[in-house]
Structure 1
Amino acid sequence: MASENDGKWSKTALVVIDMQKDFIVAGGPMLVKGGEAIVPNVIKTIEVARNRGIPIIWVVREHDSLGRDVELFRRHLYGNGKPKPTSKGSVGAELVDGLVIQEGDYKLVKTRFSAFFNTNLHSYLQGIGITNLVIIGVQTPNCIRQTVFDAVALDYQRVTVILDATAAATPDVHIECLSETTSPPSQGRANIFDMKNVGVATPTLEEWCQS
């Protein structure tokens, strides 16, 4: 069966970032409080992407259980008796319920905020002819923001962040909408404001579905 809008999306990939139990499920050691609320929209975005023939790239954190590949500021979390967040093979490193890596999808492991840092993401995307990225997941000021700015620096032609399929710890950190007339924002609003200022598209899921 031909995909929806066959050919229109041939140069676009969907990047799903850190939708793992340790980040999303209540009680997780790396909980992003706004993460659970976006799960239905993440599922919907992936469904629409599949219908459009857009390749899905699952970006996840998987760390050494001793924390030897973790950022210095987080290594204290991997001491004796600690929960060892997103350690490889752990339940917490699994995708949340409702998200499934299917045949033909691509899984990429990162150990830092940006999905491009010390990974083969850029070469993989070049290899399949991708020039446009749609980015969803958690969380806005860290992994989303740094991945987006690296994508802009690498000259991807169009970078899109779906507002209500991404999240942060609080709505103030991840603003759900920003009018064109809004003056330069407070610190909490700066993430989406800064991304818009470098040409990143920030539609809602409904707007993206209608595009």
Structure 2
Amino acid sequence: MKKALIIIDFINDIVSKDGKLAGKGYASFIEENNVIENTNKKIEEFRKNNDEVIFVKIQFKEDYSNQPKNSPLFGKAHEFGIFKKGESGDEFFPELDVKENDTIFIKTRVSAFYKTGLEEYLQEKGISELYFAGCATDLAIENAVRDAHDRDFSCFVLENCSGAGDRETHNNSLKNLGKIAKII
């Protein structure tokens, strides 16, 4: 079985101490639990085995014309100036091991599968096993895993390579995901 590591939303706005969403607890959780370090080890392992490493991040156009204005989650992104293309907040976290030739998908919704081409890419590559890492466990990870499951991929969530605003939220999400994915 061919497999891929899918890393979602480790961008400055979300996981940096100076990020615009730092007050939501993501940055603290990520740092306190060595999530980036753990993820980099997994990236190295996948690269060493010639398995696919894929990065996905939320990003809106400079004018926010592709922002879902009715979304309770993203509807005010333009007011806060978050997830904006070309801004440092939308860059991958500096310590994350992203290489110039890595595969990157841009999303405009919670799910990594919504109008990104990710599903088609995975199918073209013959990949059937997906390993998920990223932030937030209860949002982007949970949504992507549910979508992947419903597209008949075998799903694995890397517990120590994912994070949420707090431990309870993270654990509750993992408990829910355990019904459709293997938590490792």
What secondary structure sits across from 2:84 in the alignment? coil
Q: What is the deviation of 1:100?
A: 3.8
**Which digits, 9 at most, give the CA deviation of each residue in 1:74-105, with x for residues without a partner?**
333413xx4x1121111111111222432552
**125, 143, 150: which is aligned to 1:153?**
150
In the alignment of these two chains, the number of paired residues is 175
Match of residue 12 from structure 1: 3
Contact persistence 1:58–1:107 (CA under 8 A): yes
Structure 2 CA distance for aligned equivalents of residues 155 and 173 of structure 1 = 26
User: Post-superposition shift, 1:61?
Assistant: 1.3
Give the whole-Å Cα distance in 2 for the aligned partners of 1:103 and 1:128.
20
Q: State the distance in 1 between where 2:101 and 2:15 align.
A: 25
Residues 1:202 and 2:177 are matched in the alignment: no
Alpha-carbon distance between aligned partners in 1 of 2:183 and 2:47, rounded to the nearest angstrom: 20
**TM-score in terms of structure 2 length:** 0.88
More displaced, 14-23 or 101-110? 101-110
Match of 2:159 among 150, 158, 163: 163
CA drift at 1:41: 0.7
Q: Secondary structure at the match of 1:35?
A: helix
1:65 Cα deviation after fit: 2.7
- 1:182 maps to what in 2? none
Gaps (5+ residues) in structure 2?
Answer: none
User: 1:136 aligns to what?
Assistant: 133
What is the aligned partner in structure 1 of residue 30 from structure 2? 35
Structure 1 length normalisation: TM-score? 0.78
Matching of residues 14-163 of structure 1 within 5 Å: 14-31=5-22, 32-33=26-27, 34-36=29-31, 37-72=34-69, 73=72, 74-79=74-79, 82=80, 84-102=81-99, 104-156=101-153, 158-163=154-159
| RMSD (Å) for aligned C-alpha atoms | 1.6
- Within a 5 Å distance, the mapping from 1:168-187 to structure 2 comes to 168-175=164-171
Amino acid at match of 1:78: H
Equivalent position SS for 2:55: strand
Q: Deviations over 1:104-142 (max 9, x none)?
A: 521100011110011100000000110000000100111
Contact 1:67 1:78 in 2 (8 A): yes
Q: 1:137–1:165: 8 Å Cα contact kept in structure 2?
A: yes
Asked which structure has the greater CA Rg, the reply is 1
State percent identity of aligned pairs: 26
Compare the two structures and name the one with the higher strand fraction. Answer: 2
What is the identity, as a one-letter code, of the residue corresponding to 1:127?
E
What residue number does 2:175 align with? Answer: 193
Task: Give ranges in structure 1 of 5+ residues lacking alignment.
Answer: 1-9, 176-188, 204-211
1:35 corresponds to which letter in structure 2?
A: I
